[in-house]
Amino acid sequence: MSISPSKYIFVTGGVTSSLGKGIISASLGKLLMGRGYSVTIQKLDPYINVDPGTMNPYEHGECYVTEDGAETDLDLGHYERFLNTPTSQANNVTTGKIYQTVINKEREGAYLGKTVQIIPHITDEIKRCIKLLGDTEKYDFVITEIGGTVGDIESLPYIEAVRQLKWELGEDTLFIHLTLVPFLKASGELKTKPTQHSVKTLLESGIQPDILVCRTEHELGIDIKRKIALFCNVEKEAVIESIDVESIYEVPIKMLDEGLDKVVLKKLNLNDSTKLNLDNWNSFLKKLKNPKKTVSIGLIGKYIELKDSYKSITEAFIHAGTTHNCAVKVKWIHAESINTKNVKKELKGLDGVLVAPGFGDRGIEGKILAIKYVRENNIPFLGICLGMQCAVIEFARNVIGMKKAHTTEIDSKTKYPVIDIMQEQKEIINKGGTMRLGAFTCNIKNGSKTKKAYKRNSAKERHRHRYEFNNTYLEDFEKAGMLATGINPDSNLVEIMEIPKHPWFVGVQFHPEYKSTVSSPHPLFIDFIKACLNQKN
């Protein structure tokens, strides 16, 4: 099936943030793909940072990295996990990026003689970024999620740009607005007024939503739907209930039950009787909801107050666990809280431990202590990026005897810089977008645990770091029993470290979690959880 030109669906949010626009966009994408269409989802973010790579996870949650090395919003992770298709630079646009392009063009003289303004220059650049995806002719549908809440000063240029696109593209566009229908416990009522107000705000900007998706804790019922339809100028069938569910992976099915895909197709004048195939999704859901076993995994990080900081990791646990009919119980452990006295107690009863990525020195000694414990006690271990680097430091200090070995990120004068800044990073001063980013090839050694997991000789995995294993010490490590089992064939950088004598001890310099999806759980996570299950038994 192929639609030309592409159809553009805009998703806005009202009343409050965090209503789940990303999940609704991904769910709609899933349903359209289930009908045989090609879909891509894009996120427009209203902040002035060029990308979220320079933000602390407390500000923004996880920074998600794409195959082509863009540091992006975590919603792109949801898009990939649901649709199983890679996103790219073009799928995340920020106000910072838009202004940077326009200002650079102004300096080049592209607007000579003109006053450069929000309308038309900024809005034109926004429209260009949206249409870029449709113009590739690769996609039947381009779903564009507009970050923030309508009425925010920051998102006004985006709203204006999509209003103009509606004028230009006419019937090829559709507007979905997400709102909240709160429940007042005292009176036992669902309230529609916030929805009415937020649609009014949208109307003030010249946009009439075609479909309303109403987030609610209780069933809306036909009367409420009718009321919302009447006050907001939408058809009753276009008022879609989005009730709270246990797992985000249930949302596509809820949207299907509510008929979201059919309303979308109808409003875009497309055939809505095409066959929908969600067999794989449904069998995943069935397994997810009926686990036969459980494992407990400790996730050690320093941003654990905000669980979104490790979104891709916890989702990868769910995908891989489900493969084994297994629920993964995560014990969140703050790296700073671990010390020599409590490490045993903190990790007791865990079937496996994952040490998370991160930057800077906070909590690093706690991570190293935890790794020593799991190494000595044969508990399955997966270290990701900084987690792998900590495993290397621990091994150097406690097995090889390199006292005070460290990464030069934290101790630039260490006698044993077992983790050191990459050559190519040494002269870089700017912080934004300058790490080693995106997918690189890694050759995997025969006989290793990772080879058994991947069942392939090489893998392409995504990166986001400045420091690396220092090859000067490789021989010392291999002699002492920690092997480099994954190597980048072009740069010779170490990508994977393993201890073959341990039941399952793997550190990876890359981020496998970014590539785990519902239909393609990541092999390393699958094997890690298998090791945790073995540990439990």
Interface residue list for ligand GLN (CB under 6 A): 357-359, 385-386, 409, 464-467
Tokens of 257: 């039950």
Say whether 385 is catalytic.
yes
Q: Going by DSSP bridges, is the β-strand pair 483-487/436-444 parallel, antiparallel, or unpaired? A: antiparallel
Spot the catalytic one: 63, 129, 326, 385: 385
Q: Which is nearer to ligand GLN, 7 or 302 (CB)?
A: 302
For 364-384, the three-class secondary structure string (H helix, E strand, C coil) is: HHHHHHHHHHHHHCCCCEEEE
End-to-end Cα spacing for the chain:
49
Say whether 63 is catalytic.
no
Q: In this structure, are residues 498 and 395 in contact, taking their beta carbons and an 8 Å threshold? A: no
Residue 356 Cβ vs ligand GLN, minimum distance, rounded to whole Å: 8
Measured CA to CA in angstroms, residue 178 lies from 15, 114, 190, 278, 489 at distances of 9, 38, 16, 24, 47
Say whether 513 is catalytic.
yes
Q: Which is nearer to ligand GLN, 163 or 436 (CB)?
A: 436
Q: Which is nearer to ligand GLN, 7 or 462 (CB)?
A: 462
Residue 407 Cβ vs ligand GLN, minimum distance, rounded to whole Å: 7
Q: Which is nearer to ligand GLN, 243 or 422 (CB)?
A: 422
Which of 145-175 are b and which e, b meaning 16 or more Cβ less than 10 Å from the residue's Cβ?
bbbbbbbbeebbbbbbbbbbbbeebeebbbb
CA distance 68 to 510: 14
Q: Which is nearer to ligand GLN, 121 or 464 (CB)?
A: 464
Residue 248 DSSP label: G
The DSSP secondary structure of 389-421, one letter per residue, reads HHHHHHHIIIII--TT-EETTT-TT-S-EEEEE
Residue 385 Cβ vs ligand GLN, minimum distance, rounded to whole Å: 3
CA distance 252 to 440: 33
Q: Which is nearer to ligand GLN, 357 or 523 (CB)?
A: 357
Residue 44 DSSP label: E
Residue 147 Cβ vs ligand GLN, minimum distance, rounded to whole Å: 24
Q: Which is nearer to ligand GLN, 111 or 359 (CB)?
A: 359
Q: Name the β-bridge partners of 503.
A: none
Residue 353 Cβ vs ligand GLN, minimum distance, rounded to whole Å: 16
Measured CA to CA in angstroms, residue 485 lies from 329, 357, 418, 497 at distances of 29, 20, 17, 6
- The neighbour count for residue 119, using CB atoms within 10 Å, is 11
Residue 386 Cβ vs ligand GLN, minimum distance, rounded to whole Å: 3
Which of 255, 333, 270, 334 has the alpha carbon at shortest distance from 24?
A: 255
Spot the catalytic one: 60, 324, 502, 511: 511
Residue 460 Cβ vs ligand GLN, minimum distance, rounded to whole Å: 17
- Catalytically active residues are 385, 511, 513
